[in-house]
Structure 1
């Protein structure tokens, strides 16, 4: 049996225009625009004039920022529509494009839901996904700095309404755009478990993959909405094989050295290993580094410490980008929107603080110790011996726990 929603639900929500049509019937608020593909430039101009510029063109079958174009004026519309249709056809085999009002400085917030085969549907809290580059999520956190308990309840209830309108079963995510006044609008539904699901697992204590299997086996949800409790704060960094110094171009190649972070409140979901050759043929995602703490400040601190421990040799990664984000005062204060990362990258990076000779010596000693243990880890039979815990890591973690 397939572990996931039915084909009918996926087909309904897989097309953004069909999803908007069904949400209109269910009286779910969504961003003003069309609920069908644009037939002509004239229609696009008429709708754009009616709802007002700026507008966003979107591929109906799209995702990951493909087939999307921001249009600021009538003069830009024709070429943007042609470009969006062409990219949508290349990416999805479907050139249907629709139009919606562009919300200036929005926040991208999504709600995790679970539904069983017996009519029970619950929401499990929101995830803040506004840290994006080229419409691709880079860092996610839960709970959102914007969302208060009342907004969370309203958003969760609407997410459940969306799921029921789609006759949805299993795990899914309902995505919203929100303005800074906490007005939010339905964006789309992802009919699967998403990359960022670990942050929800950490704040709820629920194993979402295990629950997916139990739901597919025909079991009822083992809890009700009233049982769902959100505790602490979680944040996920998507570690990509990208070169921050070369416009984030892919950086394939062999991983020659891998130093992994761990410690209190740190989780790694990863498939990479030392000696692996990262291919250029697929998505550049290497790993997910997730931090958890009692509050947002502690979570940020734990992630910064973990990122300082993380080293991937032989290829370029975006680890340095996360250090920059997490140390940025605007991010730390929670003043976020989907344009945040573009603004940050437009600024010159702050100079790295100078290290003392003693600090440099300590880092060098730690690296040489790791390299030496890697070189002598084989017992001649090709079986690796357990590497002793690093004293440097232990000392740093104890220091950060004070």
Structure 2
């Protein structure tokens, strides 16, 4: 709301810093929250619903901006963009107050009034049945253990690259402006892309939950976005093709919820790792976003960028590699765990291959442990 009264750009910078600083815990906090209540066959679509609430917000914001521009521009001596910040606050404050009542915390410490005693016990039992550990507190020792382990870095690689590969969708409105669309259309046409991302994200989340094929699902989304980036890199194409290509980039928003769900699933036995996965991923994403767009998508090149979409093709290739690497390492770890479980049983089949040959097959003996 204070932004509505800003007198210069430096004031906006300072206020925007405060907004970013205070909202930074929200996304990783909700991801951890969902990962503490829902199991492997449920979290994908829930994560898609949560993250693509941003898509719904973008749609609403586009219509709100268009309405304020048409109906309240210069009303009461305030420009339309100032009214937008006022309405942002009017919408946000009641939701923040509602959050004190609605957000349930974790199954292990929830005191939400809308949950009964049986609900709380059921939540704990469900998490135990999934093998999902409750947090014990982020100590320096736990933080050191997490950051010196391969799991978090193998997760961050696809998390970051998937986020960066479809960054070009943020510049769709500049292409529309260059094509001569009206202010209202510049704000409303991208809402169709947001709607597309919502539908694809829900469909992808449901498919990944039901089949468990998270690698396949994310790979298909990466390929789709990469096709859009390739077409936009070529650029000298019919207007309809460029419009189609811009919409393809919105499909990439469906990939990150699945990667997050995947991370919450493979880290279910380590609560501290689950808490730090998305938070650390966001640190890297925000860090890249702080300088790369300025280099790759400079405003003076709009709407035809020399390196932007080409760089996103590279990010798509890296994301593809990251997804396969994550899948390989997770399966290898599970295989090792299964081997250890097998050898801790009462009876183990031992194969002696030292003297085996085509005519003399391996000798098998039963060893009691």
When normalised by structure 1's length, the TM-score is 0.22
Q: Of Structure 1 and Structure 2, which has the larger fraction of its residues in helix?
A: 2
When normalised by structure 2's length, the TM-score is 0.23
Highest Rg: 1 or 2? 2
**Structure with more relative contact order (C-alpha pairs < 8 Å, separation 6 or more):** 2
